Chains A and B, each alone.
Chain A
Amino acid sequence: MKKKEYLDRQVDTTFKVLEAIEKVPVNHFFKHKVLQKIQAEQHLKQPIITWFTPQFQLVTLVVILVLNASVIFYSFSNVKEISVTNIMAFAQEYSLQSRDSFILN
């Protein structure tokens, strides 16, 4: 019984310790330190090119892709013509042109 009372008393006094905690004033330089850090962050946050917004970046990307695609398409469509004219010139140069009637026909 005495032991129970002792335990209860100890537990109570331990809980009461929390009530006795005094208010701790914040460091005098706290505000100054935080403002300095915020200023440093602000400098980091400032984007180099402000006008180059994400929407504008997306539009630029789309334009570049379309240009690339059209250049590739154009160049491949020309390759056929070029190769055909090249082959004709080559055949003419070496008299390899096909005749209207083949000897075995």
Chain B
Amino acid sequence: MNAELLNEQKFIDQLIAGKQPAFSRLLDDYQQKVFGTCISFIPHKEDAEDVAQEVFLEVFKSVSKFKGESKLSTWIYKITTNKCLEFIRKKNAKKSFYFMQTLLGNEISLDKTSYFTEVNHPGILLENQEKSALIFKAIDTLTESQRIIFTLAKIDEKSYQEIVEITGKSLSSVESVMFRAKKALQQKLENFYKNET
């Protein structure tokens, strides 16, 4: 076991013991990274921050179950990805519910837009707002695995190796899903611009 791994194990033991300084260090090391991943999936600053908070609480609650089969960072990113997907699923389910209610004739004030057309991402330039909303909405139509891999690679700028570790897929599988995701997005965007002209 090398020194780095040994240090990580010591750090994990401190986290399991519930030591406050260990959590403080964990937050120093990961708050920006976790928030960065969250805002890549969820283009709303406040929502991304709430999900990032949930991630750290989940880490706190389940660190004792961490078996050390992967790096701590990989485990944290897995939790982050799952929490983001959970949040998006809930948002989309809410939209579907409202849609069904209107179909059934119930009077509910309906926001017909997708969650991803209400982009509130401080990192997106004003002139790119419209196009960003469009691509985030297109990403929302991808399959879950395509969404994860595309978002991690293209928005969160993770390397393929990191994505392999986070998703547990092989490199060739990641590359193939990425290819299909790009193709699907291209198709959707082309259709949109075709209809626009």
Instruction: Kindly state the interface size class of chain A when it binds its partner.
Output: 20 to 34
Determine if A10 and B193 form an interchain contact, defined as CB atoms under 8 angstroms apart.
yes
Chain B: minimal CB distance from A85 (Å): 62
A24 within 8 A of B: yes
- Looking at chain A's contact residues, the main secondary structure is helix
Give B contacts to A, CB under 8 Å: 18, 20, 23-24, 27-28, 31-32, 35-36, 39, 45, 49, 52-53, 56-57, 60-61, 121-125, 128, 131-132, 134-135, 154-155, 185-186, 189-190, 193-194, 197
Cβ contacts under 8 Å, B185 to chain A: 15
- A10: chain B residues at CB < 8 Å are 189, 193
User: Among the interface residues B132, B134, B193, which one has the most CB atoms of the partner chain A within 10 A?
Assistant: B193
Q: A11-B190, A24-B39 are in contact. Are A30 and B122 (CB under 8 A)?
A: no
- Asked if A18 lies at the interface with its beta carbon under 8 angstroms from chain B, I say yes
Question: How many interface contacts (CB-CB < 8 Å) are there between A and B?
Answer: 90
Chain A residues contacting B131 (CB-CB under 8 Å) are 13-14, 17
**CB atoms of B132 and A17 under 8 A apart:** yes
Query: What separation, in Å, do the CA atoms of A22 and B186 have in the docked complex?
Result: 23
- Please indicate the chain B residues that have their CB under 8 angstroms from the CB of A24 in the complex: 35-36, 39, 45, 121-123
Given A17-B135, A20-B125, A26-B52, A31 and B18 contact (CB-CB distance below 8 Å): no
The answer to whether A41 and B61 touch across the interface, beta carbons within 8 angstroms, is yes
